[in-house]
């Protein structure tokens, strides 16, 4: 019986998605233990045919959805609601995972513990890796960490971890945001996470430094100011709700201000 829902949103995918799916196909975890859900969003039929052709080569169970409207948050929310396994693993369509990724995470995760993996960036292939902010956090963490503040870098992205569905509950990605929605989502589920547990170092999530990806697009300053105020209001609401770790939420407020200042000035 499948235990993990692997959720992949994709928009006008290129050749990189073939490498992503192949890395999933090579998992040491038994194919019966996970199912892959892919949401092609806002793309024409040529991309749908392209994906169907690639998926003929994989051995894992999957479902492919074709959504008329674009938006990564909308696609992720759809996949959350249309998958059923106990655990959720988010993977971006241009990233890769090591062969032991899913097996390593499953062995460290529970309803209250979030398994977290090592992480690197790469530009063209895995022969030249660069440590990213999540990977640096991985090195500094204890095997088990209950402090949200110390593990806060892992709450900035839904990737490189395995999340039990009970942690997610009714929380969804904010479709009003195009930047910052990942951190807000993770912050909102943080009160359901008792601790984070590290995998072995060889369970890795590899982030593709691709030109044109959502994190590398030019920012409109007016939109950025609006986004910062929106996020700050959300975090302040969380702070005063008394449901969340105060130091952790305050760190999200500070990080939002610092990130906004760098872009605006």
- Over residues 74-91, the pLDDT tens digits come to 999 999 999 999 999 999
User: Do residues 175 and 77 make contact, with C-beta atoms less than 8 angstroms apart?
Assistant: yes
Residue 214 pLDDT exceeds 70 = no
Query: Using only C-alpha atoms, what is the Rg of the chain?
Result: 18
Stretch 35-62: mean pLDDT, rounded? Answer: 96
N residues, the chain: 265
Helix, strand, coil in percent for the chain, rounding step 5: 40, 20, 35
Stretch 58-62: mean pLDDT, rounded? Answer: 97
Confidence bin at 28 (pLDDT 50/70/90): very high
| pTM of the predicted structure, to 2 decimals | 0.94
Report the CATH superfamily, name and number, of domain 4-217: Spore Coat Polysaccharide Biosynthesis Protein SpsA; Chain A (3.90.550.10)
- Over residues 156-183, the pLDDT tens digits come to 999 999 999 999 999 999 999 988 999 9
Instruction: Compute CA distances 129 → 69, 98, 253, whole Å.
Output: 35, 13, 31
């Amino acid at each position: 019986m499948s235990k993990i829902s692997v959720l992949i949103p994709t928009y006008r995918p290129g050749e990189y998605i073939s490498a992503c799916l192949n890395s999933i196909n090579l998992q040491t975890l038994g194919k019966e233990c996970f199912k892959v859900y892919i949401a092609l969003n806002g793309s024409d039929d040529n991309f749908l045919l392209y994906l169907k052709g690639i998926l003929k080569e994989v051995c894992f169970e999957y479902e492919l959805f074709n959504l008329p409207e674009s938006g990564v948050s909308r696609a992720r929310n759809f996949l959350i609601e249309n998958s059923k396994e106990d655990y959720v693993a988010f993977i971006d369509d241009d990233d890769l995972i090591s062969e032991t990724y899913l097996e390593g995470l499953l062995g460290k995760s529970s309803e209250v513990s979030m398994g977290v993996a090592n992480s690197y960036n790469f530009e063209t292939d895995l022969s030249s890796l660069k440590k990213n902010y999540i990977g640096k956090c991985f090195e500094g963490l204890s095997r088990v960490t209950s402090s949200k503040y110390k593990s806060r870098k892992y709450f900035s992205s839904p990737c490189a971890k395995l999340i039990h569905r009970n942690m997610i509950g009714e929380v969804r990605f904010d479709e009003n945001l195009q930047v910052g929605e990942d951190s807000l989502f993770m912050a909102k589920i943080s009160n359901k996470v008792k601790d984070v547990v590290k995998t072995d170092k060889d369970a890795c999530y590899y982030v593709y430094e691709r030109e044109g990806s959502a994190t590398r697009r030019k920012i409109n300053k007016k939109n950025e100011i609006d986004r910062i105020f929106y996020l700050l209001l959300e975090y302040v609401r969380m702070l005063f709700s008394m449901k969340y770790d105060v130091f952790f939420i305050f760190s999200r407020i500070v990080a939002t201000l610092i990130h906004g200042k760098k872009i605006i000035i």
